[in-house]
């Protein structure tokens, strides 16, 4: 008896992972850098807190709106092209069948077998449309990313990331160091988590993200300190 062999892949086509990861990273880095810049200018705790909360709200809504428009536009374009393919299959079925056979031939299938496979697959209009869409457009009808899912993922993940450096100020601290420590832990943890998802070394991913975030915060802190020192 031949042993059965099965393996599974993780979902790489969903519309949630990229915006969620990007949103969390962006929220944490941008809001911490914003807070660091204001704190560098010797602003009061209240001003830093207000800046952080405003940055969280503005950034989360901006990310959600941008992601929604981006994914919706991409999906609408794909749907329009799928509709073109649907009309071509209805108007010129023979030509589309020959085109599909040529695709199989290009992948090494014998011409006779390629023609027969294309003929059988073309008997079902929905199946034919899905195959043509996959081969010619790289998408499948009914499997396009959801703009709403992408927008909600971006909003929530950005808000969570942006909240971390604000938390110490919410609990009464007037120093940047607690926010820096919390942001650093968040950056390293987020980078390590993403690395685990992509099979890259967790410590490399964590350190890389920490370095980028620290650089952004250091630059904005320096700018804030320079402006604060030269201000009235």
pLDDT number for residue 16: 59
Instruction: Using the predicted structure, report yes or no on whether residue 180 has a pLDDT greater than 50.
Output: yes
Is the separation of the CB atoms in 114 and 104 below 8 Å? yes
Q: Which of 189, 217, 190 is nearest to 52 (CA)?
A: 217
Of the pLDDT bands very low, low, confident and very high (cuts 50, 70, 90), residue 35 is: very high
Mean pLDDT, range 143-161, rounded to an integer? 90
pLDDT number for residue 54: 97
The mean pLDDT of the chain is 87
């Amino acid at each position: 008896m031949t042993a059965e062999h099965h393996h599974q892949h993780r979902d790489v086509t969903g519309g949630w992972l990229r915006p969620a990861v990007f949103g969390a990273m962006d929220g944490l880095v941008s809001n911490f850098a914003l807070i660091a810049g204001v704190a560098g200018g010797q602003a009061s705790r209240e001003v830093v807190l207000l800046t952080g909360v405003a940055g969280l709200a503005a950034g989360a809504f901006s990310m959600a709106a941008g992601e929604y428009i981006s994914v919706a536009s991409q999906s609408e374009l794909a749907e329009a092209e799928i509709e073109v393919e649907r009309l071509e299959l209805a108007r010129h079925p023979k030509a589309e069948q020959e085109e599909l056979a040529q695709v199989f031939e290009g992948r090494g299938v014998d011409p006779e077998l390629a023609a027969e496979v294309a003929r059988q697959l073309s008997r079902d209009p929905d199946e034919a449309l899905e195959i043509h869409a996959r081969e010619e457009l790289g998408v499948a009808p009914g499997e396009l990313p959801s703009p709403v899912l992408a927008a909600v993922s971006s909003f929530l993940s950005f808000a969570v990331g942006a909240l971390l450096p604000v938390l110490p100020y919410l609990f009464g601290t007037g120093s940047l160091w607690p926010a820096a420590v919390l942001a650093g832990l968040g950056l390293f943890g987020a980078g390590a988590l993403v690395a685990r998802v992509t099979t890259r070394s967790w410590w490399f991913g964590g350190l890389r993200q920490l370095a980028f975030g620290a650089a952004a915060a250091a630059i904005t802190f320096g700018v804030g300190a320079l402006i604060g020192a030269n201000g009235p």
